[in-house]
Structure 1
């Protein structure tokens, strides 16, 4: 019971981060280690969290696209994998189905959120600032409570059944999931590159590839070189940049006043 409550609070923390700003504590790489710490296996939580982060790397809301529920999927999948001793393969197999089920439940609950938003419109027309803020927090807290209940009930009621389900899965499928885990980094980065890669960034991508594949520079070294390139390219190291921008602003202001 206590473990189920704590794991549910981990999921609630992941969503509550949105109420405090985009802190990115809703990602598996943050939530899974917390689950592992609760269940007494921090190492497994770190490994599963890093793997699921690559798996869900492209699961971000862009435009009208609503991604699967990474919070519930990642948290519950990690909890089931660690509690049953099944490892990363089971977490990968369970994460997406759980995330999609939670997404469907969330879409149904959004019907009630739309009703609350009608009061937000009324408060806005009346100039009632506190009423607008209150409805914002009500919707946010309902979303937090929903994720807590889904994870709490899912783990508390389903841990034993999930153990039997995983034991019944053929070994060939588990091995297949293990092989798929090795492809996740490439898949995750490919999904990310589809969104951000352009002609200006392509040379830097190939530069990092050459440094890593042919020269043997470690990933950390490539990351440090990339940071240095960003600092140089955007002129962050120029101590006169702020002064120059300030002086230009003064000159522009004077010109505007003269006009």
Structure 2
């Protein structure tokens, strides 16, 4: 669906995790694991010739195995990345077929056949959905026992360490976000929100609404200042014209 109607990010672990949890009867764990995997795969975007790991298959199977086996976030992270890389390798094999279909669409475009263009477009999309669907179904149906054996061989200390690191990921994500947007004019407002939340115990929604009011006031003041500058400039121009 994400590829058919535009890139709306419905295939991200943040969305797929809760859906998998809902199907398996543990929505809460699906939300927790999906959010953690989203932070892991946040940088998995295609740039140039780089193909990222398959976020969809890795996220779905990682969440499904972790919930069905009664494991936590650490197990999901351990499972998701290798599966995503394996799915990417299968996707590379499918890339041999896709150019043939695309060339058929090119020939149809030259001949003015709209039906051929539509057929080539939907064929690639359906094959890609079929590939991921088969991998998710076969992987979950056939691989549960093998995955459980692998997880049982991993020491509990490593799994616990992965769970602790997963809890640190939100802080790392906020730090990366602040690195991109933080500037000297914004720093006072950042600490204002921190003080409101930490010392005055204002909830997150209250801090957000307070920030929204500040933005509205600042926008109004900036608009008034801009209008006053325009009026002053126009008056100076009129005085100069009177001299002539």
Pairwise TM-score range, normalised by the shorter structure: 0.7 to 0.9
Deviates most, 58-67 or 87-96: 58-67
Aligned to 2:82: 97
RMSD (Å) for aligned C-alpha atoms: 2.6
Aligned to 1:183: 168
Q: Summarize the Cα distance change of 1:211–1:55 in structure 2 as closer, same or farther, 3 Å threshold.
A: farther
- CA shift, 1:213, in A, is 3.0
State the TM-score, normalized to the length of structure 1.
0.74
User: Structure 1: which 5+ residue stretches go unaligned?
Assistant: 1-15, 239-259
Aligned to 2:142: 157
User: Structure 2: which 5+ residue stretches go unaligned?
Assistant: 224-244
Contact 2:196–2:207, Cα closer than 8 Å, also in 1:
no
Alignment of 1:207-226 (within 5 A): 207=188, 209-216=190-197, 217-224=202-209
Report 1 or 2 for greater relative contact order, CA contacts < 8 Å, sequence distance ≥ 6. 1
Q: Does residue 60 of the first structure (1) align with residue 65 of the second (2)?
A: no
- CA shift, 1:220, in A, is 3.4
Distance 2:37 2:160 in 1: 17
Aligned to 1:252: none
Query: Where in structure 1 do 4 or more consecutive aligned residues deviate above 6 Å?
Result: 229-235
Please give the per-residue CA displacement for 1:8-48, whole angstroms capped at 9, x wherever unaligned. Answer: xxxxxxxx222122222111111111111111111111111
Please give the per-residue CA displacement for 1:192-224, whole angstroms capped at 9, x wherever unaligned. Answer: 567xx26xx635763564134333254434444
Which of 171, 176, 197 is 2:156 aligned to? 171
Aligned to 2:187: 206
Aligned to 2:12: 27
Alignment of 1:85-124 (within 5 A): 85-124=70-109
Contact 1:28–1:74, Cα closer than 8 Å, also in 2:
yes
Contact 1:41–1:82, Cα closer than 8 Å, also in 2:
yes
Number of equivalenced pairs: 217
State the TM-score, normalized to the length of structure 2.
0.78
